[in-house]
């Protein structure tokens, strides 16, 4: 049982799409996605610097475009029928929605472009940020967050919770962390997946109203609670609400385990979710597709797992 996972913001690095664009087919696809977004994703994936691609309005469509490129190559030649499902972390849920057939590639890239712009605008309204907390007792941390006016944003599993809120509250947490915990400030523009993103929800509600989602043709898990979603309209509603709600990636990974996952493949720009899986799903083989050279190992994992699966 192979699950394909799609990363969120922060996974991108300067020039990460350069190896992909050596293939004319991928170059044409990225240009088409770039045209649909109104953003020069070709330049941002190849020559833009770290500060430029850290901008939320740029990073989000860039990450989803990279995932769409990867999925088209990974799931070609009948391999789509050989995987057990798909899931995304935060903005990666839009990549997953495209992979599951809920949104077309064009609709996905237009929706994520609006999402990135809306979240960047919301982040600019107040000085907020995010920090990763590693190794804390969850109940102790949540109690401390409540006292400081902070919120949990990402429950990432493997002992990692990302928290968000006002900068003075994050500074207070760093100065007095929970027992045995480390607090690592993140280079992000604002408090994503919290109440601070409410203005973005309003914009995305309008954007979603113009879309016609299809029901998924692959099992897809939701960040809301780790459950599978069978209606495309419901998944689109969850995508809208997700920007101001916590990402429960820990529950997604628990659901993978309960379903009997035997392999994890992360699409570009890969690495973060495979890292979390190695801690939370110990012993489960994984492949991070960073460049086209990694496709061979990912395809081999799919084919070997399918060949080993018991026949119905």
Catalytic machinery residues: 90, 193
Closest listed residue to residue 118, CA positions, set 232, 30, 213, 199: 199
Q: How far apart are alpha carbons 104 and 108 in whole angstroms?
A: 6
Residue 15 · residue 75 · CB < 8 Å: no
């Amino acid at each position: 049982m192979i699950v394909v996972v799609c990363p969120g913001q922060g996974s991108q690095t300067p020039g990460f799409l350069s190896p992909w664009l050596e293939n004319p087919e991928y170059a044409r696809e990225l240009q088409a996605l770039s045209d649909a977004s109104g953003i020069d994703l070709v330049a941002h994936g190849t020559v833009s610097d770290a500060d430029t691609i850290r901008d939320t309005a740029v990073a989000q469509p860039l990450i989803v475009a990279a995932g769409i490129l990867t999925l088209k190559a990974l799931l070609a030649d009948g391999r789509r029928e050989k995987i057990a499902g798909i899931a995304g972390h935060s903005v990666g849920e839009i990549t997953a929605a495209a992979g599951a057939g809920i949104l077309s590639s064009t609709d996905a890239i237009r929706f994520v472009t609006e999402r990135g712009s809306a979240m960047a605008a919301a982040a600019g309204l107040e000085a907020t940020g995010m920090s990763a907390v590693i190794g804390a007792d969850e109940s102790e941390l949540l109690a401390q967050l409540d006292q400081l006016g902070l919120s949990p944003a990402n429950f990432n599993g493997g002992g990692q919770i990302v928290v968000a809120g006002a900068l003075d509250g994050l500074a207070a947490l760093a100065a007095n962390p929970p027992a045995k915990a480390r607090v690592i400030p993140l280079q992000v523009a604002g408090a994503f997946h919290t109440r601070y993103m409410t203005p973005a929800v309003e914009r995305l509600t309008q954007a979603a109203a113009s879309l016609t989602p299809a029901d998924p043709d692959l099992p897809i898990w939701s960040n809301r609670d780790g459950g599978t979603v069978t209606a495309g309209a419901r998944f689109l509603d969850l995508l809208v609400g997700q920007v101001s709600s916590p990402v429960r990636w820990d529950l997604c990974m628990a659901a993978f385990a309960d379903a009997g996952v035997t392999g994890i493949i992360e699409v570009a720009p890969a690495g973060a979710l495979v890292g979390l899986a190695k801690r939370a799903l110990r012993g489960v083989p994984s492949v991070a597709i960073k460049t086209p050279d990694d496709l061979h190992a990912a395809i081999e994992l799919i084919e070997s797992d399918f060949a080993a699966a018991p026949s119905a």
